[in-house]
Amino acid sequence: MSSDDAGFKAALEEAKQGAKEGGIPIGACLVNKDGKILGRGHNMRLQKNSATLHAEISTLENAGRLPASAYQGATMYTTLSPCNMCTGACILYKVSRVVMGENKTLVGGEDFLAQRGIEVVNLKNAECEGLMKKFISEHPDDWYEDIGEPPKGR
Ligand SMILES: [Zn+2]
């Protein structure tokens, strides 16, 4: 697993697309056991006024309805450590692996994933960190709302 993986590159492209749209710059991509991209997407919370469309959920949604077997051996690439909601979705569909760009911005459900036998890989990618650092410095309230927390420093 590395930042050169096609699935990770797609996730990073999605994060940048989100940034272009003025959204929260987090992207994801679901790749099946044969290396085929099943779906990709980015956080659409601001764009769609959505309570649930984090990057991983957008990705699962864009991949569409699939039989359980489609997720066997699959990898969810995401530019940021998955929150509790997205961790739950990965556990529900029993993906085999979660590869994240970074977890300096947020440490999500990594331990829970590991407990459920899902392999967790952190690529410690500086570009992913940079996208989030910039967004949070410019729109702190939108970020805390995304992770279900009240605004900080008020
Ligand atoms: Zn999430």
Cα 26 to averaged position of ligand 1 atoms, centre (Å): 9
Distance between CA atoms of residues 85 and 90, nearest Å:
9
Mean pLDDT, range 136-150, rounded to an integer: 95
Cα 88 to averaged position of ligand 1 atoms, centre (Å): 9
- Evaluate whether residue 103 is within a structural domain: yes
Mean pLDDT, range 12-28, rounded to an integer: 98
- Evaluate whether residue 154 is within a structural domain: no
- Evaluate whether residue 49 is within a structural domain: yes
Read off φ and ψ for residue 10, nearest 5 degrees.
-65, -40
Distance between CA atoms of residues 60 and 91, nearest Å:
13
Cα 82 to averaged position of ligand 1 atoms, centre (Å): 5
- Evaluate whether residue 98 is within a structural domain: yes
pLDDT higher than 90, residue 76: yes
Cα 95 to averaged position of ligand 1 atoms, centre (Å): 15
Task: Look up 145 and say whether it is catalytic.
Answer: no
pLDDT higher than 70, residue 91: yes
Count the domains in the chain: 1
Distance between CA atoms of residues 98 and 77, nearest Å:
6
- Evaluate whether residue 153 is within a structural domain: no
Cα 59 to averaged position of ligand 1 atoms, centre (Å): 11
- Evaluate whether residue 152 is within a structural domain: no
| CATH, residue 105 | 3.40.140.10
Structural domain for 51, as ranges: 6-32+40-147
Mean pLDDT, range 114-118, rounded to an integer: 98
Mean pLDDT, range 51-79, rounded to an integer: 98
**What mean pLDDT is reported for the chain?**
97
The one catalytic residue among 21, 56, 102, 145: 56
- Identify the helix (H) or strand (E) that includes residue 123: none
pLDDT higher than 80, residue 60: yes
pLDDT higher than 80, residue 153: no
Distance between CA atoms of residues 125 and 15, nearest Å:
13
pLDDT higher than 80, residue 17: yes
- Evaluate whether residue 1 is within a structural domain: no
